[in-house]
Amino acid sequence: MPALDSNVLVRYIVQDDAAQLAAARRLIRRCVAQGSALFVPVTVVLELEWVLRSGFGFGKDEVLQTLSSLFSAAELSFESERALEVALHLFRKGPAGFADCLHVASAAQAGEQPLWTLDKAAASLHGAAQLK
């Protein structure tokens, strides 16, 4: 199964470069036509969220909507999909950033809790604890 880098997803989402958008669309169409999903590593999702937020000014609601749409796309297969879904839920409901939500969800998926943190917002998440 072919995998995607965050820059391909960024071009597909923000559509700021016509040539790169066309290349991303061709790849996705080709894989769909072959009946093959595209694999998205969890690290790509983490970088994608950061790029959308810091590089393109996406707000929390835009990030939530974008990631939710990607997670439901049949042509994409996500590494640690359950942890990503939990992280998205935590991010939607709380004050912590997406990265911290993903750290907590990944630790929980591994059965390793709490996630010790110095970050007050992250510590507010179920499955995290603040180191004092």
Secondary structure of the chain as H, E, C letters: CCECCHHHHHHHHHCCCHHHHHHHHHHHHHHHHCCCCEEECHHHHHHHHHHHHHHHCCCHHHHHHHHHHHHCCCCEEECCHHHHHHHHHHHHHCCCCHHHHHHHHHHHHCCCCCEEECCHHHHCCCCEEECC
Backbone angles phi, psi at 78, to 5 degrees: -105, 135
Tens of pLDDT, residue by residue over 4-59, are: 999 999 999 999 999 999 999 999 999 889 988 999 999 999 999 999 999 999 99
Residue 115 φ/ψ, nearest 5 degrees: -90, 110
Entry field: residues in the chain: 132
Q: What is the pLDDT of residues 92-101, one digit of tens each?
A: 999 999 999 9
Query: Rounded CA gap, 128 and 112, in Å?
Result: 10
- The residue behind tokens 């004092």 is 132
User: For all residues of the chain together, what is the average pLDDT?
Assistant: 96
Q: Longest C-alpha distance within the chain, in Å?
A: 54
